[in-house]
Chains A and B, each alone.
Chain A
């Protein structure tokens, strides 16, 4: 089937990103937008826009009925879900199929297989991939038994969690009863699934992930990314390839990701996330994100591929157009997530109206954004304003270019973390090479809370 018109069930920068590829491919776009977004930049760029409901996500971007009836009313052939919202929701994918719409993503079975962390772990074990030592725990007593077996400290994780939410470290047995009670209650309210499980808490770990493309038969990888600069499990900076990784370890991680994809007979674009224990020099499967990811541009910059275009091609032709040997990585790429948040006030979100937006421009600079002068940043959605992406022959050159690009970028009207990124680019430990996921918290503690960022 040739796709001529697709609906975008998302908003913000990823909606703009999808429209860009569709324009290149000559595909019409229908943006499914909430009332808060009907005048947004993606709404102005899309071929058509349909309002699907009130601003709150539950009434619009998470409302499968509204999305599907709007998509059918606009006579689209397929739905691109972007990331977040319903992008990994197996029942939404099923309902698209039942309505005769192509869901641009993996199969319903694959979404279910990686949708909950315990099932995903079991699949990883079946595929022969190392997982962090751990087990399910239904009570504080069970949790204590598990913790004694795998070793302290432990991390309580919500089975239905993801995107860094629903995790709680526990350092001593005395904290366990309260931690389990709290984690169970929070998991029930946040993910409508109260189940939790325990994992060994790797305190010095790197977050390394591998980008996959599959067509249900063949699976290829597009190299790795390092996303270790995180604040409370939210990624701040991403880069490709991961720096300072022993060639043998890198090959093993990439091969593990491909094995996992082959085990699932994966279709579409997906990312397998790993935790690399820098003390033990081992790696463990964390989870699979069965969708396009926020940080996909760094992979695009080093491979020269258009991942949204590949997603559409796989949905359309059912076949992967490339083999592993076609994929060549060149240079280094770095991405900073520019968020509407006030780093000097405990990263409080800063919604409002953008009065001016000026970004760096140049031959090695890419800006993925839905922000321009006059754009509204509603309080209903996440705080991502823009992704500033640079490439250079090597990592040092990337940091230099990013540093210069950040200085030239100015966003007014809402508070942003631009100054924080500019400060990070000057940090010696980051410049020296790989950092672990606790790096940012240590940096924050050492700089003190009063330092204006």
Chain B
């Protein structure tokens, strides 16, 4: 059963004529917390859906790229292995401007701070990944199409003039 806005409105109406400032309603399916603010009719609600999804078929195992131990260790930051390039935000990493196109950089490519070395797609928006430093690409740690987070290392550079 779904708790509707109409339900919440009716409960708030009942509470408004009472002296209570807080109501916590908990069932197997949901939890609703209503709180009265400083002035009389400034209520807030917090909802929590407690029912579990009723899955018709089990979800397939997540794509190996995201959980493989090799992938994890390759992404783990390591000290003294050159300059690390990390994603500006969480998203899907792409090495090329579009499917089928040549990658922005390969190992051995010389880059400057403004060089675009990849794309992160987050919530339908494409964000360029800049090298951020001058040097030569020595390692590409993240795979094309991999989900990456800001702490992951995408590539490493050997410092030097681009």
Q: Point out residues on A near B: beta carbons under 8 Å.
A: 16, 19-20, 23-24, 30, 35, 38-39, 41, 43-51, 53-56, 73-74, 189, 340-341, 348-352, 356-363, 365-367, 372-374, 379-383, 404, 408-409
Contact = CB atoms under 8 A, between A and B. Distances in A.
Contacts of A56: 92
B2 A45 contact: yes
B123 A372 contact: no
B55 A38 contact: yes
A74 B56 contact: yes
Given A49-B53, A379-B147, A360 B59 contact: no
Interface centre among A55, A352, A379, A381 (most CB of B within 10 A): A379
B91 interface: yes
B144 interface: no
Given A41-B49, A48-B56, A363 B44 contact: no
B45 interface: yes
Instruction: Give 3 closest A-B pairs by Cβ, nearest first.
Output: A361-B45, A349-B123, A43-B53
A360 B43 contact: yes
Given A20-B4, A340-B123, A379 B52 contact: no
Interface string B1-37: 1101100110011000000000000000000001001
B125 A349 contact: yes
Given A39-B53, A351-B122, A381-B124, A367 B5 contact: yes
Given A16-B2, A383-B123, 14 more contacts: A23-B2, A44-B53, A45-B49, A49-B53, A50-B55, A51-B58, A54-B62, A56-B92, A341-B123, A351-B90, A365-B5, A366-B5, A367-B5, A379-B122
A73 B57 CA distance: 10
Contacts of A404: 42
A49 B34 CA distance: 29
Given A49-B55, A51-B57, A372-B46, A362 B41 contact: yes
B89 interface: yes
B92 A47 contact: no
Contacts of B98: 189
22 contacts: A19-B2, A20-B4, A38-B53, A44-B49, A44-B50, A44-B52, A45-B2, A45-B51, A49-B56, A348-B122, A349-B125, A352-B90, A357-B46, A360-B43, A360-B44, A361-B9, A361-B43, A361-B44, A362-B12, A366-B5, A383-B123, A409-B44
A380 B1 CA distance: 28
Given A20-B4, A43-B53, A349-B122, A35 B62 contact: yes
Nearest to A34: B59
B124 A35 contact: no
B37 A408 contact: yes
A188 B143 CA distance: 26
B123 A51 contact: no
* Residues of A contacting B: mostly: mixed
A373 B33 CA distance: 12
Given A358-B46, A363-B9, A348 B53 contact: no
A450 B46 CA distance: 32
B60 interface: yes
A350 B150 CA distance: 12
Contacts of B124: 381-382
Contacts of B37: 408
B19 to A, nearest CB: 18
Nearest to B53: A43
A409 B47 CA distance: 13
Contacts of A55: 147
A342 B4 CA distance: 30
B43 A362 contact: yes
A361 B37 CA distance: 11
Contacts of A374: 48
B137 to A, nearest CB: 25
Contact of B127 (A45, A341, A348, A373): A348
Most B Cβ at <10 Å: residue of A23, A360, A363:
A363
B9 to A, nearest CB: 5
B81 to A, nearest CB: 27
A409 B58 CA distance: 36
Interface in B39-88: 41-60, 62-63, 88
B13 A408 contact: no
B44 A408 contact: yes
B49 A372 contact: yes
A372 B48 contact: yes
A51 B147 CA distance: 19
A362 B9 contact: yes
